[in-house]
Amino acid sequence: MICAVTFNRYGRLYYFQPGKFQPAVGDNVLVPTDDGNEVAQCVWAPQWVTEDTDGFPEIVGVAAPDDLQRDHDQRRVKARARVAAKRLIRDHELPMKVVGVDHAPDDNRTTIYFTAAHRVDFRALVRDLGATLKARVELRQLSARDSARLQGGIGSCGRDLCCSTFLVDFEPVSIRMAKDQDLPLNPMRISGACGRLMCCLKYEHPLYANFKSKAPAVGDTVETEQGRGRVVGHDVPRESVVVRMEADGSRCACPLASVCGSRQAYETSPAAEGPVGG
């Protein structure tokens, strides 16, 4: 069995084995992290899955009132650290932006995540933050994609960002993928919230690449059931090509199997005439 939890509302999902517990959607549970057990909210109740779940950690238990109070105090500490960091960054006139704060109470360590266009000398900032927060302070610079993952947001599709919900690793995305899918090469159309190429360009690219490896190219002359014509477009989701007929100039959508070379070669071969012999 497996269930999913999140540490922030509409945040990234993390998967755990429920063990002996059966939390319902909305219940607060304790889950193990690198900084100890933390409170998370169950957003996907335990259910059976076909995949092997041996590699997933188990839920520690249901969050008690003391755990919820500790989580509340942690959020207040993080909010205070964020405000102090923004103020001191402004005072030091540093070109950086705070995007996230984390705090480990066991060793009194506060980690501040930021973005910047270039490398920043923040040694004086760390010293002043340590004196203000009375804690050991670490600053970590994030890339544009990691920043979008941490902050979350809504994509052009109207859904939560993939990187902040279910994506675990960032896979390389190239402009070639947009070209193969006949998408407009307008940065405003193919860029995500992070300003980089959208991760979802990777999802359907294998389908388009496989289709184009079998389909006749635009401009090729093909034989269809309606007669000879010229390919003027591809309809990948429907596995068909758009053909302009030579006879009357009309257009029709033909299944890929009816115009691809391998199908036509088969239909003209002796094998298509049926079995030989009695």
d(CA 150, CA 161): 10
d(CA 91, CA 87): 6
- In a 13 Å sphere around the CA of 88, the CA atoms on its Cβ side amount to 20
Closest CA to 32 of 50, 44, 19, 46: 19
Give the ranges where the chain is alpha helix by DSSP (H).
65-92, 123-133, 144-151, 175-180, 187-190, 205-214, 256-259, 261-267
Q: Are 4 and 14 within 8 A, CB to CB?
A: yes
d(CA 157, CA 79): 31
Kindly report whether the global pTM for this prediction surpasses the value 0.75.
no
The string of pLDDT tens digits covering residues 209-221 is 888 888 888 888 8
**Mean of the per-residue pLDDT values for the chain?**
84
The string of pLDDT tens digits covering residues 89-147 is 999 999 999 998 988 887 888 999 999 888 888 889 999 999 999 989 999 998 888 88
The structure tokens listed for 206 are 């294998």
pLDDT given at position 168: 73
Helix axis angle for 65-92 and 123-133, nearest 10°, is 140
221: three-class secondary structure by DSSP: strand
pLDDT given at position 262: 44
d(CA 61, CA 40): 11
d(CA 12, CA 178): 26
Those residues whose C-beta lies under 8 Å from the C-beta of residue 12, and which sit 6 or more positions away, are: 6, 149, 152, 164, 165, 166
